[in-house]
Structure 1
Amino acid sequence: MHNPHDVIANASVWVRRFSPLIPKGGVVLDLACGSGRHSEWLANTGHQVLAIDQDISAVQALNNPLITPKCCDLEQTEWPLSNSEFSGIVVTNYLYRPHLDQLPQMLVDGGVLIYETFALGNGDFGKPANPNFLLNPGELLAFATRHVLKVVAYEDIYVDQPKPAMVQRLCAVKGEPKQRIPLQFQG
């Protein structure tokens, strides 16, 4: 049987570029982790990772001691991660607005949010096409402003890799970054 998470095997260029900003020593949350491609990337760079999704079988199969898989319904009424603190939060290809405002509250001072998901217009290229799962123009920037996050980088663009899509990407820091990152591409 084909696993939809098999389609994208490598960590996102956006996550690879900005993950060096995540302070060492804390736990990084990989929210809606899917196959664990970002959990594995983060663990390989020395981070402890909490990998959460409804199906964690692929992450468990990684058998990495730095990755703690947790099966969780992220769309239940009560936010399942209340009172948690993270040095970084990574979210890709996932959007559930009712709990979005919880994320900045879970970041420690200097913690980094790396967010990348589909944007309005993506329906022209395939799924998701439902506006409930697509970011509106400037939505991540407005989100960062509302939560007084320092925006390190933002894009609202068409990409052709790993497949044609409209995406919005944000890297933002709560407070001041603990580490600096060169602005050049780190592919």
Structure 2
Amino acid sequence: MHGTEEASAWVRRWTHLVPAGGAVLDVACGRGRHMRWFAQQGHPVTGVDRDPDAIEAVRDTGEAVLADIEDGPWPFAGRSFAGVVVTNYLWRPRLPDIVAAVAPGGVLVYETFARGNETVGKPSRPDFLLAPGELLQACQGLRVVAYEGGFLAAPDRFVQRIAAVRAVPGATPGRYML
């Protein structure tokens, strides 16, 4: 069943950057593979999706928010999270809200499709493919810990992915283990 696969390797790799016990937001959570992953790591989790079946599937995992974040308001205005996770989703008008939802000391872990993917499969529409460096630009104001952009095999796809933290004002810069 779609959405029941294990957490993305990129998300698993950077999970340690989320402060212990900090709340995690999974944007476009689908059937909750990343919500389950973070809950298993001891984090309270919130997922948002516009699909009622997906939200029903994650209701027992954590806070489940049914919302169309493309045609409706951002349901997390004024809230911030120790971790914000986005995979295989892009809606450019929401990028500022997603970045703003990262709390001081928190991390954004984002991975989605990039230009070039149209040569190997779907998504293929430019609306759903990041331009070169676009994810880096969207994360201005965060400290980039890791960034990759390019081709991955099995399954073949072009992606951009980032792990970026929001500094704590007035704090000594943290050490981020790779």
TM-score, normalized by length of structure 1? Answer: 0.85
Whole-Å Cα distance in 1 between the matches of residues 122 and 27 of structure 2?
A: 20
Deviates more, 1:84-93 or 1:102-111: 102-111
Of 139, 159, 164, 1:172 maps to 164
Residue 155 of structure 1 corresponds to which residue in structure 2? 148
Whole-Å Cα distance in 2 between the matches of residues 106 and 63 of structure 1?
A: 21
Aligned CA RMSD, in angstroms, stands at 2.0
Whole-Å Cα distance in 2 between the matches of residues 139 and 169 of structure 1?
A: 10
- From the superposition, tell whether residues 64 and 178 of structure 1 become closer, same or farther in structure 2 (CA, over 3 Å): farther
Pair 1:23-2:19 in alignment:
yes
Whole-Å Cα distance in 2 between the matches of residues 75 and 59 of structure 1?
A: 16
Segments of structure 2 that go 5 or more residues without pairing to the other structure are none
Residue 107 of structure 1 corresponds to which residue in structure 2? 102
Alignment check: 8 A CA contact 1:119 1:135 kept: yes
Alignment check: 8 A CA contact 1:23 1:178 kept: no
Alignment check: 8 A CA contact 2:143 2:164 kept: yes
Alignment of 1:1-187 (within 5 A): 5-6=2-3, 9-58=5-54, 60-61=56-57, 64-65=60-61, 67-145=62-140, 148-161=141-154, 163-175=155-167, 180-181=176-177, 183=178
Count residues with an aligned counterpart: 174
Q: What's the secondary structure of 2:69's corresponding residue? A: coil
Alignment check: 8 A CA contact 1:34 1:56 kept: no
Alignment check: 8 A CA contact 2:7 2:37 kept: yes
Whole-Å Cα distance in 2 between the matches of residues 179 and 20 of structure 1?
A: 12
Q: What's the secondary structure of 1:43's corresponding residue? A: helix
The one of the two structures with greater contact order (alpha-carbon pairs below 8 A, sep at least 6) is 1
CA shift at 1:58, angstroms? Answer: 4.2
Alignment check: 8 A CA contact 1:104 1:174 kept: no
Whole-Å Cα distance in 1 between the matches of residues 47 and 152 of structure 2?
A: 26
TM-score, normalized by length of structure 2? Answer: 0.89
CA shift at 1:180, angstroms? Answer: 3.6
